[in-house]
Amino acid sequence: MSDPETPFFPSSLGSAVQETRRALDRIERLNPSINAMICTTAEPALRTAEALDRAAAAGEWRGLLHGMTVSVKDNVDLAGVPTTAASVILKDNIARTNAFVVDRLVRNGAVIVGKANLHEWVFGPTSQSLHFGPVRNPWNTGHIAGGSSGGSGASVAAGMCVASIGSDTAGSIRLPASFNGVAGLRPTVGRISTTGSLPVSPPFDTLGPLARRVSDVARVFAAIAGHDPRDPLSADVPVPNFLAQLNEPVRGLRLGIQRRWFYEDLDPDIAAAMERALDVFRSLGVELVDIDLGDVQNAQQMLTFTMIPADAMRLHRERIAERAADYGADVLMRMRLGENVSGEQYAQAMRWMEGWRHRLRGVFQRVDAILSPTTPATAPAAQGLDFAQAIRRIPRFSCAWPIAGIPSLAVPCGLSGEGLPMSLELAAGWYNEPTLLRLGHAYQSLTDHHLRAAPVLHA
């Protein structure tokens, strides 16, 4: 891997074409078993790679991502390719133009190898898609890959690409990152434009990168962050040099620890992994500070069971009236929860949200970031999965940060006794992604969890 401040280039392989062929070969070989990709874009990917190699031969670099292979979640527009959101209703929905993030990827020299599978309509944590088939976990294909960006996480873990673009409303980047053993960043809402992506709940929707290395997450983030006047929620704020800050020391930073809720009812392996992670941060000179987040346990109810279903139902009401039979039962059940959310209940959730944001402002005056497990358990088995239980347990921790609009980063922190990935999560104040990336990068500098290969790669 090149230095973080230089353009990405697959020097170990020698060329963008070789990197791209390797990615496409892996998709061809492994996708039948894990179903991470809805479609590939082999011909345009190879044309792009050839052009990048010609430029490199002339001494030209096409941006931060020159030669990096990337998959794009299939709720994000890629011109000339269907954007399906894993729904049969959109199977012929050919995108006319690129999404904002895709334009940024292309401008920075990325090679897009295809569209990643996901939970239908971007609306669930399992990616057990009715119409396009379930995404299977590269670490154990009998287990789920998480969602809704399950294909993004699985495609990175399976070596089908270096990075992927996912979306996150209540955990949809970080949960698949956790279950697939990769890093995933949910940025501050507004930091990355959502123009050209299918929404779930616009006040909470954001796009973000997944990759094995935090340094590659930072690289992709640096390429795609920025203001977009077409997006009403896009923030017109300066974009710092994330890569230049990546290697700054973390000694002296303060890391908040909320033992209640976040460290309760954990799988024993995850509890032990979190204690080891605390030791790593101590060895880096990070100060651990006990904090009190009050009624943090209410975040999931307010976000996942109140505001998001109500927002999603408003977006889908007409389609459901006409084509309810074409919705998966789990997705339809969750959306119909939104029909029962009263105006007063929604207003109550918004009042709680404002109080929560006020509380976090105070907390982030005392600490630089907060550390928690990403999920309370490793990826569950697909067979016999109870969706109603999964929707409560899997995103148990992940809702606290989206409802505040703040950034958070999932980072691999080991394997369970069953050989399944475990993950820690770092959260920071609004637009403070640089601190998250520094902490995550520093953690990876002392650990090798992100370097372990999923068993599917050895099959």
Give the start-to-end residue ranges of the domains of the chain: 16-458
| Confidence at residue 5, expressed as pLDDT on a 0 to 100 scale | 52
Q: What is the pLDDT of residues 383-419, one digit of tens each?
A: 999 999 999 999 999 999 999 999 999 999 999 999 9
Report the pLDDT value the prediction gives residue 367, as an integer from 0 to 100. Answer: 99
Which entry of 73, 127, 152, 408 is annotated as an active-site residue? 73
148 flagged as catalytic:
yes
Task: Round to whole Å and give the CA distance between 89 and 364.
Answer: 44
The residue assigned the tokens 């434009």 is 193
Instruction: Check: pTM over 0.75? Answer yes or no.
Output: yes
CA distance 135 to 144: 7
Q: Mean pLDDT, 10 residues at a time, over the chain (459 residues)? A: 54 79 98 98 99 95 96 99 98 98 98 99 96 98 98 99 99 99 99 98 98 98 98 96 94 98 97 99 99 97 98 98 97 95 98 98 98 99 94 96 99 99 99 98 98 92
Which one of the listed residues 71, 172, 178, 372 is annotated catalytic?
Answer: 172
| Nearest by Cα to 300 from 190, 169, 198 | 169
DSSP bridge partners of 76: 197
Q: Which residue from 398, 404, 406, 443 is spatially nearest to 428, judged by alpha carbons?
A: 406
List CB contacts of 337: < 8 A, sequence separation 6 or more: 305, 309, 313
Residue 2's pLDDT is what?
41
DSSP classification of residue 304: I
pLDDT, residue 1, reads 39
* Residue pLDDT, tens place only, 138-170: 999 999 999 999 999 999 999 999 999 999 999
Q: Please check whether residue 117 is in contact with residue 74, taking contact to mean a CB–CB distance below 8 angstroms.
A: yes
Active-site residue, from 71, 148, 193, 398: 148
Contact (Cβ atoms closer than 8 angstroms) between residue 82 and residue 102: no
What CATH homologous superfamily does 16-458 map to? Answer: Amidase signature (AS) domain (3.90.1300.10)
d(CA 156, CA 23): 10
Predicted confidence at residue 7, as pLDDT, reads 62
